[in-house]
């Protein structure tokens, strides 16, 4: 599925519509038990050619212009394997995926939407918009990916968000925040940008490993596994991506759980040996243990 972000506004006080096609992203959405979740979203799409992107942009602008649309919006298309595209719908709002468009074109769509609402001129022209680099977005959800993506309400006990160059988080949660049962389970959006698609995937892998939330289940581990699926890495995916690879993803999830148990057992055994050594030293030597030595031993356990 392809999406094109558009912004229509009045240029100053003159009733002339300014039209901007702001790139195109690819979204593969799966439907499970009448509900949907979204895979990592990528822009620019590895499947969409420059010629197809141009045609989709022109169609999106024409659709918005036909209804005299004003403001920021999103035109969605279905794209088949032959690169034919078909109008699906228009969302008269910013799409959840708008951050990846912002990252590759360098435009704050929320700010521009407010400017349009205030009848102010936009800060750019169509020729100013150049796509640079690649961006991925992952929706971080309070879901149990091992239990058919059931919602996982609860209280966030610990929260460690990743950061760094090319990393962005749009979120609202904090430690001790309670995720209720009444709303959509999405608790944040993790966005990365890099100069190439390969670097963007590698960066997303890293930050997903750094993202830690305890107190409830999330889909972070599941998204991390998707980053390692060869078809995703090579750009060979569509709306059947999850059904096609669900067995592999479940197998990896099981291996990860076993790996975690092994690490915990190794750490417990090392802690046991350290206690034996400390007790032995205490019985033969009443001198206190060096703080430097104690710190080094603890860091060694953390590295394992």
Residue 4: closest CA among 68, 56, 63, 50: 56
Q: What is the pLDDT of residues 78-101, one digit of tens each?
A: 888 888 989 988 888 888 888 888
Q: How far apart are CA 206 and CA 302, in angstroms?
A: 18
Tell me which residue has tokens 């291996």: 255
CATH superfamily of 133-239: ATP-grasp fold, B domain (3.30.470.20)
Active site residue 205: no
Mean pLDDT across 176-193 = 93
Structure tokens, 199: 């670097």
Mean pLDDT across 68-73 = 84
Residue 240: closest CA among 42, 31, 3, 46: 31
Weakest-pLDDT range from 29-38, 202-211, 293-302: 29-38
Residue 7: closest CA among 168, 86, 125, 87: 125
Mean pLDDT: which of 19-23, 217-221, 235-239 is highest?
A: 217-221
Instruction: Tell me the percentage of the chain whose pLDDT exceeds 90.
Output: 25
Q: Which residue has the higher pLDDT, 10 or 268?
A: 268
pLDDT of residue 211: 94
Q: How far apart are CA 86 and CA 210, in angstroms?
A: 39
Domain boundaries, the chain: 1-132, 133-239, 268-303
Rounded to the nearest integer, the mean pLDDT of the chain is: 77
Alpha-carbon distances, residue 209 vs 6, 126, 242 (angstroms)? 34, 38, 21
Residue 1 has pLDDT above 90, yes or no: no
Structure tokens, 172: 């609202």
Instruction: Tell me the percentage of the chain whose pLDDT exceeds 70.
Output: 71
Structure tokens, 48: 């969409």
- Domain 1-132 sits in CATH 3.30.470.20: yes
Catalytic residue among 35, 83, 93, 132: 93
Global pTM value: 0.73
pLDDT of residue 279: 62
**Both ends of the chain: CA-CA distance in Å?**
43
Using 50, 70 and 90 to split pLDDT, how confident is the model at 207? Answer: very high
Weakest-pLDDT range from 7-21, 184-198, 250-264, 275-289: 7-21
Mean pLDDT across 4-32 = 44
Q: Hey, do 1-132 and 133-239 end up sharing a CATH topology, with the first three levels equal?
A: yes
Q: What is the pLDDT of residues 93-134, one digit of tens each?
A: 888 888 888 898 888 888 888 888 888 888 877 778 788 899
């Amino acid at each position: 599925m392809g999406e094109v972000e558009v912004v229509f506004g009045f240029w100053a006080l003159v009733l002339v519509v300014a039209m901007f096609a702001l790139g195109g992203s690819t979204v593969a959405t799966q439907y499970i038990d009448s509900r949907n979740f979204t895979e990592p979203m990528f822009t620019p799409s590895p499947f969409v050619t420059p010629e197809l992107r141009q045609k989709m942009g022109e169609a999106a602008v024409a659709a918005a212009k036909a209804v005299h649309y004003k403001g920021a919006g999103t035109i969605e298309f279905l794209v088949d394997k032959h690169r034919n595209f078909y109008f699906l719908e228009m969302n008269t709002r910013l799409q959840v995926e708008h951050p990846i468009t912002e990252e590759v074109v360098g435009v704050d769509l929320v700010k521009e939407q407010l400017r349009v609402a205030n009848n102010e001129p936009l800060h750019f022209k169509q020729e100013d918009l150049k796509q640079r680099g690649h961006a991925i977005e992952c929706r971080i959800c309070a879901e149990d990916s091992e239990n058919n993506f059931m919602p996982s309400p609860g209280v966030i006990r610990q929260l460690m968000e990743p950061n760094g160059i090319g990393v962005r988080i749009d979120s609202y949660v904090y430690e001790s925040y309670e995720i209720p049962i009444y709303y959509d389970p999405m608790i944040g959006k993790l966005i990365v940008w890099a100069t190439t698609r390969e670097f963007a995937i590698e960066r997303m892998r890293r930050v997903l490993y750094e993202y830690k939330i305890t107190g409830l289940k999330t889909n972070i581990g599941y998204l991390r596994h998707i980053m390692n699926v060869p078809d995703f890495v090579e750009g060979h995916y569509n709306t059947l991506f999850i059904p096609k690879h669900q067995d592999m993803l479940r197998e990896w999830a099981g291996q990860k759980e076993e790996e975690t148990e092994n690490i915990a057992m190794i750490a417990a055994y090392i802690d046991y040996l350290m206690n034996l050594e400390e007790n032995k030293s205490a019985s033969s030597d009443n001198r206190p243990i060096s703080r430097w030595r104690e710190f080094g031993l603890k860091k060694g356990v953390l590295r394992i």
